[in-house]
Amino acid sequence: MIQKYKETTNSMSDIPATSFSFEVDQNYSGKRLDVYLVEMSPEHSRSYLSKMIGEGNVLINGEIPRKRGQILENGDNVSLTVLPKANYLASPKPEKMDLKLMLDDEEVLVIDKPAGLTVHPGFGHIGGTLVNGVLGLGYELPTIAGVTRPGIVHRLDKDTSGLIILSKTEHSYKHLTRQFKERLVEKTYFAVLKGKLSTIKGVIDAPIGRNPNNRQKMAIVDGGKEAITEFEVLSYIEGYTFVKVHPITGRSHQIRVHFSSLGHPILGDKTYGRDHGNPATRLFLHAKQLVFIHPALEQSVKVSCELPSEFEDLMSTTMDEKDYLQLTN
């Protein structure tokens, strides 16, 4: 089944790009992604479609495929954004940017990303991203995942702040992506939820996929990808709940969707918060700690960062500094 669902315009060049959605049926189950796209879009060359996959313009169930030859399954949703050939995204350009480096060695770069900063260039934002800023510091990053995603091994939403890992070599890229795929990386987030969450500690195990009523959003859906989120309540703050979160899987918008499903969306979440009059100045979700195996040392490395000032300002109204530090360290 083929559905043309959206046409958009590149604000930088006013050149239109068209998006298509394909639902894989049983006749195509087991086919390679690149072969499937050639059959579904015969008007485009295989090299063009391969380039679109490499540059992140093809998604499988809302996620960037691991490789061009990824095997498809019955029911998979494949979306393709077709860019005019004159509008291929070139290699990102270096830009001056004040970035907070938490780990910097020959193999790995870990950055404390501020909220509001997009991680890598894509359609509609070809500059002003974290990648542009890293290149502006003089680093050379491997382009094994595509020229617009150099060094990127995992996702962090634009509105989420906190730690993100970039690889500096092809060896570290392969090493780290394998760790994320096999769920070997321990991720710790802190979040502020709306309302009082009654369950002190628990696990949310609910599959996530594209929202059938709004393809731009994710939702808990039957037949979605496995999504598991562990959480623990740290304190209650005058109508809010402060939680520590360990996402076991890494689905798009996973933490936001899971807590919204409980009726306690993250403070400042304009997409899943159900309250568009929310006065919060930002999304109160922060990636505070990462534990992973260093690609060169083959030893466990723990990297942590401080909570943003907005968290401290919110919680300082209900607890003293000693209690705050004890909770967040």
Q: What pLDDT does residue 201 have?
A: 97
Average pLDDT value for the chain: 86
* Poorest-pLDDT segment among 49-63, 149-163, 172-186, 279-293: 49-63
157 annotated active-site: yes
Q: What is the three-class DSSP state of 312? A: helix
Give residue for tokens 């360290």: 329
| C-alpha span between 22 and 60 (Å, rounded) | 10
From residue 57, give the alpha-carbon distance in Å to each of 10, 23, 63, 89, 133: 14, 16, 10, 10, 22
Q: Tokens for 318?
A: 């209900």
DSSP 92: P
The tens digit of pLDDT for each residue in 213-236 reads 886 789 999 989 999 999 999 999
Fold agreement between 100-181 and 186-328: yes
The answer to whether 10 and 17 have CB atoms below 8 angstroms apart is yes
Q: Which CATH topology does 186-328 take?
A: Pseudouridine synthase (3.30.2350)
Calculate the alpha carbon distances from 239 to 122, 198, 200, 260, 286 in Å.
38, 12, 15, 16, 19
- The residue whose two tokens read 């072969």 is 35
CATH class of 2-87: alpha beta
Residues 6+ apart with CB under 8 A from 67: none
Q: Which of 179-183, 212-216, 321-325 has the lowest mean pLDDT?
A: 321-325
Distance CA 161, CA 283 (A): 8
284 token code pair: 């109160």
Residues in the chain: 329
**Domain coordinates in residue numbering, the chain:** 2-87, 100-181, 186-328
Upper half-sphere CA count for residue 240 (Cβ side, 13 Å): 18
Residue 289 reports pLDDT greater than 50: yes
Cα(273)–Cα(261) distance, rounded to whole angstroms?
10
Closest CA to 178 of 304, 293, 57: 293
At 54 the pLDDT is 83
pLDDT value, residue 169: 95
| Per annotation, catalytic residue among 34, 112, 157, 159 | 157
CA distances 287 to 72, 170, 305, Å, are 31, 25, 8
Split at pLDDT 50, 70, 90, the class of 145 is confident
pLDDT of residue 8: 38
Choose which CATH entry (3.60.130.10, 3.40.1410.10, 3.30.2350.10, 3.40.50.620) describes domain 100-181: 3.30.2350.10
